[in-house]
Each structure stands twice: as C-alpha cells, then as structure tokens.
Amino acid sequence: FNSLNRDMTLAQFKFIWYMEYSHRMWGRVVGLAYILPAAYFWHRGWLSRPLKGCVLALCGLVCFQGLLGWYMVKSGLEEKPDSYDIPRVSQYRLAAHLGSALVLYSASLWTGLSLLLPQHKLPETQQLLRLRQYAHGTTALIFLTALSGAFVAGLDAGLVYNSFPKMGERWIPDDLLAFSPVLRNIFENPTTVQFDHRILGIASVTAVTALYLFSRKIPLPRRARMAATSLLAVACMQ
C-alpha cells in the first residue's frame, strides 16, 4: 500500500486477503486429509511395511509443502528499500512451492493407483522398454515446463510479449541476453523466461504427440491406450 497501491480500498484489500486466507485454510485441510487417515490406518495395522514408508514420505512432503508456502509468502513481505518494482514473491521460491506440489500430487496419484489397479504383466519387449523410457523423459520435460511457468508468473513475464509465434516483430528478441552474467537471464530476465517457457511448451506438446504416435504401434492394454490418448488431449487443451 505504501509503495504502490495507495488507492486501494478496504473492500479490495479484503478480497486479496480472503484469497490468501482461503488458500492457507485449504492447505491445512489437505494436510489433515493426509495425516489423520494415515494415523488411523497405521494404528489399525492396515499398512504393509513398504506402504508405511510411502505414507511417511507423503505426510512429510505435505508438511514440507506448507513450510515452503510460508517461506515463499515471506519473500513478498520483505522490505526492499533499493527497489521500486512491484511487490512480488521470489520467483525461485514460487517455483519450489509449485514443484513440490506437483511432486506431492504425482506421488499421491501413483500410490493410489498402484493400490487400486492391478499391474499388467506385459512381456518386456524392446519397444515397451523404449516406450517406458520415453514416457519418463516426457514426464520430466512437462515438469520442467511447469516450473518455467512459475518463473513466468513470479516475474510477470507474460506481460512482456503477447504475440505468437513471434515475440513482437522478431523470432528472437533483442533483449534475450540483456543481463550479466548470462546465466542470470534464464531465471531473472522476463523476456528470456517467457522465451524459454514458449520453447519448453512447444517441446512438451511435440514430445506428447510423439509418445502417442509411438504408443499406437505397440500392442498395449486398454488402460494404457486410454492414458496415452488422454495425455495428448490434455496437452492440446493446455
């Protein structure tokens, strides 16, 4: 308010305050949704030894996620006397918070589906091995693309250029490497951050499409075919 939003009304402040408050309360509900059932199932002896390790890891990760959220918000409240920029949280902490949330969600989904769905016993052919490796590589690429999106959000880099496929009048902007040292551009230059996110996004869609086409050449169970088709549909929608 002191540095930028002097015209903010109390009603406008309440709106953003309740957004933050609701997010915190929802996060605590999510934490309880992990910890309370885990304690109950553990007490009843319903968890096998390997599953106990998974449950402990998931509960630890959900607590770590909450701590990261606090650490992220703290960066947006720190005084920056030498900066007259828009107050914002650290893009590094925002990416860490989003990344840990994606890991937590993926691990939870994987654990749940492993318990609910029986594993298919497929012959370990060379094609199947290649498909699995390519799927893991595509997963890593999508994860990296999502993290780059956190840097876009943290730096408001989406506001720099709003044309596609070119950025303004050029394919490669003039200020792509404006910061020094060069490595700093990847994480702190809004133009470079948006450029990288575009490239990663295109690469992700290309990888998902190739994965789908490759999966069509292999005899797969219906469940795996549905997964590959759904992945392509969601990638196009995204």
Share of the chain above pLDDT 70, in %: 97
Instruction: Provide the whole-model pTM.
Output: 0.86
CB 149 within 8 A of CB 197: yes
pLDDT of residue 81: 61
Q: How far apart are CA 137 and CA 131, in angstroms?
A: 10
The predicted pLDDT at position 36 comes to 96
pLDDT given for residue 32 in this prediction: 96
Burial class of residue 218 (count of CB atoms within 10 Å of its CB; 0-12, 13-18, 19+): middle
State residue 82's pLDDT score. 58
**Structural domain spans, the chain:** 1-117, 118-237
Q: What are the mean pLDDT values of the chain's consecutive 10-residue runs (238 residues total)?
A: 84 94 95 95 93 95 94 82 69 94 95 88 86 95 96 92 90 90 92 96 97 93 93 96
